[in-house]
Amino acid sequence: MSRKKLIAANWKMQKSIGDAKAFADSLVSSVPNVGTCDVVLFPPFFAVPFTAKILEGSGIGVGAQDLFWEKQGAYTGEISGEMINDAAASYVIVGHSERRHVIGESNEIVAKKLKTAVEEGLTPMLCVGEKMSEREEGNAESVVEEQLKTALSGLSQTELKRVIVAYEPVWAIGTGKTATPEDAVAMHRFIRGCLGDDFGSDISGELRILYGGSVKPENAERLLGEEEIDGALVGGASLEVDSFLKIVGAVK
C-alpha cells in the first residue's frame, strides 16, 4: 500500500506570532514548489490561530504541540482538544520526547492524551523513541514497543486509523546526530510489525510512520528515499523557510 509522505515542522517554544505569520505567508507563496507530500506546521499555541488563518485553503495543515486529557475544568495552564479545534488546528503532537523526559509525562499520561485527541476529532502525531542508554543496553525495541502498546491499546480500529506515529530516537533530537537510514528503517519495520501483531494488517499497512531527529536538507533525501519512512518531523531545520522547503522538496 502506498502511503503519502508527510513533512511536519515542530517549532517547539520558538517563534513569535509575527515570525510564525511571516513563515506561513512565505510558505503559502511557495506552495507550487511543495510537491506531492502533506505538510503540517506545529507553531507554539499563541501562534496557532494566526498561522491557521494564513494557511486556510492552502492544503497545508496546522497543529498544536500538546493537549490536556480532560475536556475542560480547573486545570490552570492547560489547553484542551476543543480549544485546539477552536483555533482551527486539526493535528496535535502527543508524547514528544521533551514532554516525556523534560516534563515527566509517563506512557499512561500519553495514552490519555492520545485518546482525548482522537475523541476530539484531531489527528494525533504520537511520538515514540528510546534514549541512548536504552539503545546501548539493547532495549531500544522493548522501550518503543511499550510506548506504542500503552498509547494505542485504548483506541478503537476507527480511532487507530487516524494516528500518525513518529519514531524519534531521543539521542538524535536536537543533537545533530541522525539515526542512520538503516537504523531508522529497522525500527520503522519493527514498529510496523508491532502494529500488525496487535491491530492487524489493515492498520499496519495504513499508518504513517515518520522519522524525527536532526533531519536536515543534507540528509533528508536519503532518509525520505526509504520506502519505510513515511515522512519527517523536523525541529531545528524547520525554523527557516528555505531549509524547511528543501526538506519538503526532498520527497520524490
- Active-site residue, selected from the candidate residues 78, 96, 145, 221: 96
Those residues whose C-beta lies under 8 Å from the C-beta of residue 130, and which sit 6 or more positions away, are 139, 140, 143, 144, 169, 170
Tell me the residue type at 168: E
Shortest distance in whole angstroms from residue 140 CB to ligand PGA: 17
- Active-site residue, selected from the candidate residues 105, 145, 168, 188: 168
Q: Which residue, 188 or 204, is less far from ligand PGA as judged by CB?
A: 188
Nearest to 11 by CA among 251, 233, 229, 167: 233
Three cell numbers, residue 36: 506531492
Nearest to 212 by CA among 244, 245, 170, 149: 170
Q: Which residue, 73 or 176, is less far from ligand PGA as judged by CB?
A: 176
Shortest distance in whole angstroms from residue 167 CB to ligand PGA: 11
Name the residues that contact ligand PGA, by CB under 6 A.
10, 168, 173-174, 212-215, 233-237
Shortest distance in whole angstroms from residue 215 CB to ligand PGA: 5
Q: Which residue, 8 or 54, is less far from ligand PGA as judged by CB?
A: 8
Say how far apart CA 140 and CA 129 lie, in whole Å: 8
Is 168 catalytic? The answer is: yes
Catalytic residues: 96, 168
